[in-house]
Structure 1
């Protein structure tokens, strides 16, 4: 940002990870047992573990946790800010201000309306008003007051609901917030019948615990590729109407490392003792402050904060928005009081910062939102229109997750019922799935040994490298396995290579924690009969029946409605394109493209893991004449050199989608040899169903 200009993006305090309230803090927490807190993720794949009780009333618009500010650490230096920390805070007319964060809700073609919202947080309870006006002649400014949707400590969450007319011409809208003095922000709205919507899509907008401060600085911090997003957005005719965050908008993994109360819980011996350890007011405060500070700091990083204020967002939850691997842990951990309460609090702040709502408000729904809490009250799904010819299908694949399911039957039914209500003008349905549904399977460990060797040292390296390549869940775990002292016996490694991956890593399971910090828990019990990194994938044997059912159902919908289904995903820290198709009729309704853009911030897996994945990326028979495969999307590297392995590329990246007539064009932008400067690959042209 130009240093001569005032900073229009006041930033939040840096994360203050204190396990105890400050002495000045006077909040009074009711001593509710865990069953009295409304847990957000009661995974239906598990039996209930506590008696149902009356939830305490929730205050909306009041101050459920009033009192003095929580303690904060000193603001970071400019050098620290370059690594992804927040910039020094600014104050507006309403005291300290966080935001604005701009969100796309939906559109109504028939009534020619665009719906969105702006979220602003202030340290003053004073009302907030937005002034909104367009560049089209004959329009008058709109003055929109805010609604208070929640509070945290002394901070008030103000949501400004936007209902804007869509005309026959595209418009640039400008808004200002009275709490932010004279700062203005712009965003773009397509004309009501414009099919040529442009959208950005990305995932993994943060760094894993294992990425050092020096490495973050070398990579240009959080904002390096966000600068590329903004650069393209500012080109005339290439403005984005919306951006799609496919999960891991924040990385909540440090919670296990920074909060003393959680570190103490990890040291408790005995499965039942750990499961039933009571939740305390101090933990409620510390965990709530952790997520609040994480969002206000991360969303204030340079370039990302500008994008959040000027490109309407659609966000989807994944594990790191809570903590690494949430939902794929065994039942005794997932239903412990600690996991459930952390999940509840993370869910609260996810809804507030990313969806501009609360569970109560989301459950009320609305005639145009097509956003809904599922029948079991635990998930946030959405179906949205991106112009008159494209719909976005966004199942919440984290909140109902267990080792045996990704979504409940009730959620599938609700989503498909909503898809059937889409207007007949829809030509494309884009399914946002946080984890790719088309992705290389891992081969038997013989293949791993081919790449990593058979010495004890190589075996240890292989375990670590495997973790890096399996996606966001395994990423942290694999990189930290060595740090927690796990050793793999080379003779055992060789002897077990005739079995499955689960067999080979049998002794590693005991210590395979999602962030490397949970490893003590799992190894202490020695009863985890799964590899949690693999469990997160659609192609894991536990999930393949559900995967088959979803694909079959989507293909039936495509055939019945003559709409093309495509997938956009992230999670795996590399880019690629896959597809389902019928060789005898390659453009029939079974053609479904999978676009993978990951990560826009986090580091890629090592070359050895990509090579291993390429060796598994063979064409497979899905059934009924349908094949699935990964495409040779990257014949050359960003420097023009020919690549031997062309299906996945291990560089930071993000994606661009554009509707051209009845076609969907997709480009993957990959970071080149210069930090933050991207090279486009594509487009892949997705035809309509004819």
Structure 2
């Protein structure tokens, strides 16, 4: 079908569809509604060998702005004592590109780049004439930090950055942990901030938003058949936009957004709770298809700084209901009335686009690959766009990812570590026994009473009438229907790790508690961790804002922390890293030092209520808000591009003659199985998140889980729990032997 909408050249130099609102701002400045938001995209190398940092900055303005400009200027070395702080570049001006504009707002993107220096460098950026529409906010130049060319990036990882419907936000002090993130960033800057999903919670759309009336329909069949017309689409569009502006503009989160470059994937709450994991016939209803399109639109704009599709699904425009194999929603003239959408956005090489649209979000998935400095690569799998109750990703998407990894690691032998981001944990206790109970005939009488009289209303979800907890369980990799897909993914990662002698570390969020899972070779193989390509830790950090589950749930999960067998050669279990609760010492005595009282400022008041969060037997799961800090175990020498050597006092590791003793069949693998896990917890050298330990060699990682002490502390002070991950050098004899296992 030929689109009956005009295509035009925008004054900002981009091609778009739709005429836009045809207004010109008379303001003397750039009237900003939201932002700036800073993203990291990738690293490239010039022919001269100098690496280039690529990123983007997004602002949301009133319509009619004319070609805003951003000035990026060098601000010197982070550590002035390092010397050689003279920059080889001057200030540069970058012109804005209009991604989208309608009657009420416009999205402008600045593609920025800067050369890596021989030292860790700070950069200032300023948007000419920026004036906030909300006059309570004040414009000030922003800054960010790029690592030295010889360094890998210092990483902050978070997930679940919002509140579930019904949470007493004030009782949980709002997004308090972002205060702690900024304190840590001020002491030792983060180079990148990885969002593991649920960067925003849009669930309120069904409680106090445009889906309230639809949600109130008790008959599931009537809800499935309910149309998603233009008015509902426009109302949902307005709701999602306003929710993003409100949440992303709230301090201290907004401060972090402008100073720490982000890389994000999404999860269900970025759309609505449980999206993708309800029954197939319900997920295909018009309302779910509609909000999937609207949420995807603003996910691209706010979280990726990309132009959205020309239109989103609505039952009033049949053309939008037939996406086709290319995964691009056709233009709807009604939606494009007084609207402009960029159409020549070439995206970025860091994105891996799925081959076909998802089943419910009818756009192609958008996974990510980029390099995080000298020796670390990052991959984030879009595990929401293609998700159904029975699959997480298409097989073609996994092939796309591993083909890219093979290409990148073949071309760059300096890459020694892969950080893989998944939306939910993958090394995590099984809950199949709970699934069996919730799906058993025992639940049927309660379900009948719920339908007839509303009995146990909170036990069942508001969408398809199923037990509410089931959509969360179906989301997990450990759910029975995802078992084969989970095993195949881990085996692909193990083969990749063995081929390139590259350690794999997995990040996961979603579950609202902290934990550390690990895959590792069955003790019968007697492979030390430093040579074990099956050793893959899973850092589970969740939530940075949402409230944690009750203590009883965390304790139950800890009791389910069995030793599981992925296959004949691979075991898995959680590491017992939580030697004590935050705010308590190893004797379970209350302490009032917070982060040793030196790192995070004033300690909590002695009268402040701090309760124990876990039972005395639970050292594996922590029901307290948290985030993670990930850095290399050893810093390279300054002012050099060469790989780092062993540091003074560093324990022998992959580059030395000594490695950790492999665990025996009688050992408890919930306890440390290599030198980097020895002493894991509050006393581990990595716990502060500030100083490299040198424990696991130059290619290892230090990890700190920063855990909230008290949710009534509005400063969000934390205690740290640390461990280290060894680099990997596969023993050739083991490699050959392993091929026969």
How far apart are the structure 2 equivalents of 1:413 and 1:521?
34
1:183 paired with 2:140, answer yes
The DSSP-based 3-state class of the residue aligned with 1:543 is helix
1:105 CA drift (Å): 0.2
In the TM superposition, what whole-angstrom CA distance separates every residue of 1:305-357 from its partner, at most 9, and x where no partner exists?
Answer: 00000000011100000000000011121111110111001001000000000
> Which residue in the other structure is 1:231 paired with?
183
> Which residue in the other structure is 1:629 paired with?
573
1:345 paired with 2:331, answer no
The DSSP-based 3-state class of the residue aligned with 1:424 is coil
User: Do the aligned partners of residues 239 and 530 (structure 1) sit closer, same or farther apart at CA in structure 2, a change above 3 Å counting?
Assistant: closer
User: Do the aligned partners of residues 508 and 616 (structure 1) sit closer, same or farther apart at CA in structure 2, a change above 3 Å counting?
Assistant: farther
506, 522, 539: which is aligned to 2:464?
522
How far apart are the structure 2 equivalents of 1:649 and 1:574?
5
How far apart are the structure 2 equivalents of 1:536 and 1:365?
32
The 5 Å alignment of 1:175-324 reads: 175-180=125-130, 183-195=140-152, 197-212=153-168, 216-222=169-175, 224-235=176-187, 238-260=188-210, 262-264=212-214, 266-267=216-217, 269=219, 271=221, 273-324=222-273
87, 91, 108: which is aligned to 1:141?
91
Unpaired segments ≥5 residues, structure 1: 1-52, 69-90, 446-465, 467-498
1:404 paired with 2:346, answer no
How far apart are the structure 1 equivalents of 2:201 and 2:705?
23
564, 582, 585: which is aligned to 2:527?
585
1:104 paired with 2:33, answer no
User: Do the aligned partners of residues 637 and 55 (structure 1) sit closer, same or farther apart at CA in structure 2, a change above 3 Å counting?
Assistant: farther
How far apart are the structure 2 equivalents of 1:665 and 1:239?
16
How far apart are the structure 2 equivalents of 1:347 and 1:668?
31
1:416 paired with 2:402, answer yes
> Which residue in the other structure is 2:480 paired with?
541
604, 611, 623: which is aligned to 2:548?
604
In the TM superposition, what whole-angstrom CA distance separates every residue of 1:151-170 from its partner, at most 9, and x where no partner exists?
Answer: 24321100000121112222
The 5 Å alignment of 1:122-133 reads: 122-124=61-63, 125-133=65-73
1:669 paired with 2:706, answer yes
User: Do the aligned partners of residues 507 and 375 (structure 1) sit closer, same or farther apart at CA in structure 2, a change above 3 Å counting?
Assistant: farther
Check the 8 A contact 1:61/1:148 in 2, yes or no: no
Check the 8 A contact 1:97/1:179 in 2, yes or no: no
1:172 paired with 2:122, answer yes
The DSSP-based 3-state class of the residue aligned with 1:282 is helix
1:186 CA drift (Å): 0.8
User: Do the aligned partners of residues 615 and 265 (structure 1) sit closer, same or farther apart at CA in structure 2, a change above 3 Å counting?
Assistant: closer
1:117 paired with 2:56, answer yes
The 5 Å alignment of 1:331-342 reads: 331-342=280-291
How far apart are the structure 1 equivalents of 2:518 and 2:240?
37
User: Do the aligned partners of residues 501 and 687 (structure 1) sit closer, same or farther apart at CA in structure 2, a change above 3 Å counting?
Assistant: farther
Q: TM-score, normalised by structure 2?
A: 0.70
The DSSP-based 3-state class of the residue aligned with 1:392 is strand
1:245 CA drift (Å): 0.7
> Which residue in the other structure is 2:379 paired with?
393
> Which residue in the other structure is 2:307 paired with?
358
User: Do the aligned partners of residues 130 and 507 (structure 1) sit closer, same or farther apart at CA in structure 2, a change above 3 Å counting?
Assistant: farther
How far apart are the structure 2 equivalents of 1:398 and 1:391?
22
1:384 paired with 2:364, answer no
In the TM superposition, what whole-angstrom CA distance separates every residue of 1:202-221 from its partner, at most 9, and x where no partner exists?
Answer: 10111111212xxx223221
How far apart are the structure 2 equivalents of 1:333 and 1:551?
31
Across the aligned residues of Structure 1 and Structure 2, the Cα RMSD in angstroms comes to 2.8
The 5 Å alignment of 1:618-657 reads: 618-638=562-582, 639-640=584-585, 641-642=587-588, 643-657=616-630
How far apart are the structure 2 equivalents of 1:397 and 1:277?
27
How far apart are the structure 1 equivalents of 2:265 and 2:560?
29
User: Do the aligned partners of residues 509 and 666 (structure 1) sit closer, same or farther apart at CA in structure 2, a change above 3 Å counting?
Assistant: farther
Check the 8 A contact 2:215/2:462 in 1, yes or no: no
In the TM superposition, what whole-angstrom CA distance separates every residue of 1:633-689 from its partner, at most 9, and x where no partner exists?
Answer: 101111124432000011110000001321111110001136210001013333333
In the TM superposition, what whole-angstrom CA distance separates every residue of 1:127-153 from its partner, at most 9, and x where no partner exists?
Answer: 210011112435311011110111243
Please identify which structure carries the higher helix content. Answer: 1
How far apart are the structure 2 equivalents of 1:276 and 1:148?
37
Check the 8 A contact 2:307/2:345 in 1, yes or no: no
How far apart are the structure 1 equivalents of 2:253 and 2:413?
36
345, 349, 355: which is aligned to 1:369?
349
How far apart are the structure 2 equivalents of 1:58 and 1:305?
36
User: Do the aligned partners of residues 140 and 518 (structure 1) sit closer, same or farther apart at CA in structure 2, a change above 3 Å counting?
Assistant: farther
1:281 CA drift (Å): 1.6
1:516 CA drift (Å): 5.8
Check the 8 A contact 1:370/1:383 in 2, yes or no: yes
1:369 CA drift (Å): 2.9
How far apart are the structure 2 equivalents of 1:92 and 1:332?
53
User: Do the aligned partners of residues 369 and 324 (structure 1) sit closer, same or farther apart at CA in structure 2, a change above 3 Å counting?
Assistant: same
592-601 vs 329-338, greater mean Cα deviation: 329-338
In the TM superposition, what whole-angstrom CA distance separates every residue of 1:49-107 from its partner, at most 9, and x where no partner exists?
Answer: xxxx7777697756677499xxxxxxxxxxxxxxxxxxxxxx99222431000000011
Q: TM-score, normalised by structure 1?
A: 0.75
User: Do the aligned partners of residues 63 and 298 (structure 1) sit closer, same or farther apart at CA in structure 2, a change above 3 Å counting?
Assistant: farther
The DSSP-based 3-state class of the residue aligned with 1:379 is strand
How far apart are the structure 2 equivalents of 1:559 and 1:100?
42
User: Do the aligned partners of residues 376 and 95 (structure 1) sit closer, same or farther apart at CA in structure 2, a change above 3 Å counting?
Assistant: same
1:603 CA drift (Å): 0.6
1:529 CA drift (Å): 12
Check the 8 A contact 1:64/1:151 in 2, yes or no: no
In the TM superposition, what whole-angstrom CA distance separates every residue of 1:192-234 from its partner, at most 9, and x where no partner exists?
Answer: 2223x2110010111111212xxx2232212x10000000000
Query: When the two structures are aligned, how many residues end up with a matched partner?
Result: 551
User: Do the aligned partners of residues 205 and 434 (structure 1) sit closer, same or farther apart at CA in structure 2, a change above 3 Å counting?
Assistant: same
The DSSP-based 3-state class of the residue aligned with 2:729 is coil
1:260 CA drift (Å): 4.4
How far apart are the structure 1 equivalents of 2:109 and 2:425?
33
In the TM superposition, what whole-angstrom CA distance separates every residue of 1:465-497 from its partner, at most 9, and x where no partner exists?
Answer: x9xxxxxxxxxxxxxxxxxxxxxxxxxxxxxxx
1:502 paired with 2:419, answer no
Which is higher, the Rg of structure 1 or of structure 2? Answer: 2
> Which residue in the other structure is 2:30 paired with?
94
1:594 paired with 2:538, answer yes
1:284 CA drift (Å): 1.4
Check the 8 A contact 2:516/2:537 in 1, yes or no: yes
> Which residue in the other structure is 1:442 paired with?
431
The DSSP-based 3-state class of the residue aligned with 1:375 is strand
> Which residue in the other structure is 1:163 paired with?
113
> Which residue in the other structure is 2:103 paired with?
153
